[in-house]
Amino acid sequence: MTHAQQYLLLGLRLGKHGDGLVDAYYGPAELKEQVDAESTIPAEALAAEADALLAELPDSWLYDQVKGCATYAHVLAGDDVPYLDEIEGCYGVRPEQTPESVYEAVHARLEELLPGDGSLYERRQAWRDRHLVDGALATPVVNELLPILRAFTEQLVELPAGEELTVEPVMDEPWWAFNYYLGSLRSRVVLNVDVPTTGTDLIHLAAHEVYPGHHTEHAVKEHLLMRIRGQIEEGIQLVPTPQAVLSEGIAETGEDLLDEQTRAAAYDVLRKHGIEVNPELSAQISKALEPLRTVVLDAAIMIHQDGAALEDAQAYIERWNLVPPEQARHSVSFATDPTWRAYVVTYSAGRDLCRAYVGGDPARFRRLLTEPVRIGELLSA
């Protein structure tokens, strides 16, 4: 049995321990049939299996993936793995808590951008409230944005013939939106309409989840790497692996490349639906808010590494992210979910690594979409 086959079996077996650990599988059907027919293998045995496979592998992309699986298996087995070690073992990056001075600077900039009476929180919420999209309208708006973003994406990379997707609303989930990649170049994208969302949020979501983000990456890599090159290890998407950092980085970075014509067309869609649009100020606010992407990660470190109470972590998120209690509780729920607790690092780390690597160069972004780039390469770059 090849190392790639062993990795796929390991990932599928891990997936039986937690809903969502296998984000997608579209590798050889016989391997999934084999695992489906098995009893659930104890986490201790899977940790040993992963360690044994690691010992056979050269330093490579596959090694990084198996190391992530091994780390997660040891956590599942109840081994004493400190939270930061868990993150580093799974994702190849080791985060540090962001100094509060960084967040203080963000708030100071927002004070300039959102002048007026009331607290900064009240002014921030008032700004969002003016631009919120009714949940029933969110999915139709995203569907109208997608052809615009697809046309732009086709300038970056050749999309495989037959790629397609659907967008559906959902409720009561620990995340804002999700791309369920189904294989055969198809995605099912779901939008959690419980989460307050603005028009510019929907542009970001469509770029992140579909074009040129998750759907684009998965479809292009399935076509190029699996179908053409026979690299079956690309046929599984596993949550606790470095692959997730790259994928979230691609999804977070793609919007940076949008040209003015594409942005203008996207804003026209929002206006058509009566959604208030202030492109210049929205862009300034979005840029100012970017450093706050690590707030939830900081809260997760507080909980899992420092032993902070959930209430204190929620208060931390409320304070620095300028969000209401319900939204902060939603973030704490995500950061404490067994499947996602370490995943919170992928958004900020992936964005920072991919943005620094791409540097606005479409050719570099195309490489991220078409090759299994290692996190170590992005770190060294």
What is the CB-side half-sphere exposure of residue 293 using CA atoms within 13 A? 18
Determine the average pLDDT of the residues in 314-330: 95
Q: Which residues pair with 198 in a beta bridge?
A: 132
* 132-150 confidence digits (pLDDT tens): 888 889 999 999 999 999 9
Sheet containing 177-183: which strands, arranged edge to edge? Answer: 164-170, 186-192, 177-183
Dump pLDDT digits (tens) for 124-133: 999 988 888 8
Distance CA 291, CA 348 (A): 9
Per-residue pLDDT of 187-236, as tens digits, reads 999 998 877 789 999 999 999 999 999 999 999 999 999 999 999 999 99
Rg (CA), the chain: 21
CB burial of 31-65 (b: ≥16 within 10 Å; e: otherwise) equals: bbeebeeeeebebeebbebbeebeeebeeebbbbb
pTM: 0.94
Q: Are strands 177-183 and 186-192 parallel, antiparallel or unpaired?
A: antiparallel
**What pLDDT was estimated at residue 194?**
79
Per residue in 262-302, pLDDT (tens digit) is: 999 999 999 999 998 889 999 999 999 999 999 999 999 99
Looking up tokens 């496979």 gives 53
Beta strand pairing status for 164-170 and 22-25? unpaired
Q: How far apart (Å, rounded) are the C-alpha atoms in residues 304 and 206?
A: 32
Contact 321, 107 (CB under 8 A): no
Q: Give the residue-averaged pLDDT of 230-256.
A: 97
User: Residue 33 above 70 pLDDT?
Assistant: yes
- CB of 321 closer than 8 Å to CB of 293: no
Q: Is 1 exposed, middle or buried (0-12, 13-18, 19+ CB in 10 A)?
A: exposed
Spatial distance between the Cα atoms of 342 and 88, rounded to a whole number of angstroms: 9
Q: Which residues pair with 76 in a beta bridge?
A: none
| 39-98 residue pLDDT tens | 999 999 999 999 999 999 999 999 999 999 999 999 999 999 999 999 999 999 999 999
Q: Which two tokens stand for residue 117?
A: 């009476």
Domain range list for the chain = 3-91, 100-380
Q: What is the pLDDT of residue 327?
A: 87
Task: Flag whether pLDDT at 174 surpasses 70.
Answer: no
Question: Is 170's pLDDT higher than 90?
Answer: no
25-45-50 Cα angle (round to 5)? 55
290 half-sphere exposure, CB direction, 13 A CA radius: 15
Q: Check residue 171 and give its pLDDT.
A: 81
